[in-house]
Structure 1
């Protein structure tokens, strides 16, 4: 079934990351919008779109629209998604789902009232390497998760002159507020330690408590060049752990015997390490960032198929965890307890 889609926000992220992956699916892009008319015109030319505007309400008024997609800003995501839901239009929004948990809850209420789907762009669930690691962690062989460790760094590129970390929290950190719950369990507490070496350059160690008794730490900050690898994940169980380096390499460590004293030692199925890297030389579109699979899950959900699509319900949970982290930053070393969700 071909879906009629309109899109709001034609900046670099949408142009280079989102729309090329969206176009791989059975959609008709019938309208685009941006407050910068030239940016909208560029996207319209590229995809043969006839309706170009700077007012998203014009897109929502077009006939027979199935989906509005957006990559705009926190407040815009709240307002546009609620307006779309009031017209019974499904929504795909890049994260964040508003500027606050209250914004996310307003979108959630509108989605439930309309009976429509709001997908949130937590694409890290769908990175090929992350998905492989997730499937390992959720397998009976892996057993109960005991600990999570992550690093997710960036450079101080969110700031020009006036240092305000809000963009860093909403656009960067929020990814891991969803990912830790996805891999482990609902978050029950956070404790934050912070080191700001100068304005705009900080590092956070965020410690998580989980509903299943697991513990976790995620290191996030604005101290590293984006020209270097800045992300890795480790999930640990009993005598097992799985690691993802830079979203493109998976290592699954199990419980091998020592090899040194065994002259017949070899590589043994079932105990030795399994490793995977993508083959970028193949004539295939590796979905290492996960956007294509995320859109696939969205359209599958619209068709009524079972899916682990991150929805506005997940967005609300992630925003509550993020707000707990921000409170923890303001109260370093103090444990912030979260209500069950």
Structure 2
């Protein structure tokens, strides 16, 4: 379905990632080619009213709501980002699709494969655009490396080695939240490991099987908060009461891809001093490349084109000759740089273009892609509970 009139947008969830979506829609009309319909910033919904009101004011949205159903029922809203706790996704996404909204749902898609399957079926029946927010696919540097795999000298990937290390759960007195509930596989693996698995498949194609998985909980319980925090913030008072942590702080595993490539993965939310350390190495038949989120506007690259005396890794600074930069930034000059927040704007633009029937940018991953990602995570959990045995992805 395409939309030729204006597109009214809303975001459900006004926390850390929700604000990135709000800012993304605000920036999206300023980017890339002509033809995008007028984008109306309509509403923000959050169960915690102060968050909703503050976010609406900050990002220029017309109104704040406290119930997602107000978004679903609003006739002036066409497209909605769902950026709330994972266990809430299914009800909200199905409700939005039933009222004719286009939906962009944050990853991981749902707490279970069964929930995600139901969401995919609802999307297929709705005829609306229904996407999963694997935002890192919008990184210019990551896409530049992928181009060198698909079209350049790197060729087929033999080994993907990736990590996503964060420290938001390192302090044992960080307050309890929904991120620490939900059972095995719904902790660090689901929260940040889902991104890493998607990146592995972005370069290597579908995962065939996983093995050697280890899931470990290092902080067994956390204090109950007395207030409401935004994102990973610890700036909230806590009580003396503590609740058990139900899921994992660390996940490690290996994977075999249908292409014959192998992958090694390490995920942690208790990595002291590393707030958002995502990085990977791609070793391919014709060379290698690396990426580090600490330096998001560059990557390193090595191939056999140089003589032995000067060969090796060289740093490449991203510029307009790479994906997403040309016309994607107010100043799209070489070496100007960009950050992770820009990925959300480029994702929002791609989502809106898809609704409008435009094709300037690659489409966002579908809910079916989100379902497949959960099937891989499910296999990792099965491997961990079976002492690391090999488990095929269903």
Structures share a fold, TM > 0.5?
Answer: yes
> Do the aligned partners of residues 113 and 157 (structure 1) sit closer, same or farther apart at CA in structure 2, a change above 3 Å counting?
same
Runs (5+) with no aligned partner, structure 2: 30-38, 221-247, 320-329
- In structure 1, the residue matched to 2:308 is 258
TM-score (norm 1): 0.86
8 Å CA contact retained: 1:146, 1:236: yes
**What root-mean-square deviation, in Å, do the aligned CA atoms of Structure 1 and Structure 2 show?**
2.6
Contact kept? 1:190, 1:208, Cα under 8 Å: yes
By relative contact order (CA 8 Å, sep 6+), the higher-ranking structure is 2
Secondary structure of residue in 2 paired with 1:25: helix
Residue 381 of structure 2 is aligned with which of 301, 315, 326?
A: 326
| 2:351 aligned with 1:298 | yes
Alignment correspondent of 2:25: 22
**Residue 220 of structure 1 corresponds to which residue in structure 2?**
267
Change (3 A) 1:228 1:93: closer
Residue 183 of structure 1 deviates from its aligned partner by 1.1
Distance 1:22 1:192, change over 3 A: farther
1: CA distance between counterparts of 2:389 and 2:312? 41
Q: Does 2:339 match 1:288?
A: yes
Q: Is 1:194–1:202's contact at 8 Å kept on the other side of the alignment?
A: no
CA–CA distance in 1 between the matches of 2:168 and 2:72?
Answer: 36
What are the equivalent positions in structure 2 for 1:1-341 lying under 5 Å apart? Answer: 2-15=6-19, 17-26=20-29, 27-155=39-167, 157=169, 160=175, 164=181, 166-194=186-214, 196=216, 198-199=218-219, 202-227=249-274, 230-246=277-293, 248=296, 249-255=298-304, 256-259=306-309, 273-277=313-317, 286-289=337-340, 290-306=343-359, 307-339=362-394
Contact 1:192/1:204 (8 A) holds in 2: no
Summarize deviations over 1:114-171 as a string: whole Å, max 9, x none.
1111121111111222121122222143222211111111225287469656232222
Question: In the TM superposition, what is the alpha-carbon distance from 1:275 to its structure 2 partner?
Answer: 2.2
CA contact (8 A) 1:137 1:242 kept: no
Calculate the TM-score normalised by the size of structure 2.
0.75
In 2, are the aligned partners of 1:92 and 1:120 still within 8 Å (CA)? yes
With over 3 angstroms needed to count, the CA separation of the structure-2 counterparts of 1:239 and 1:25, relative to structure 1, is closer
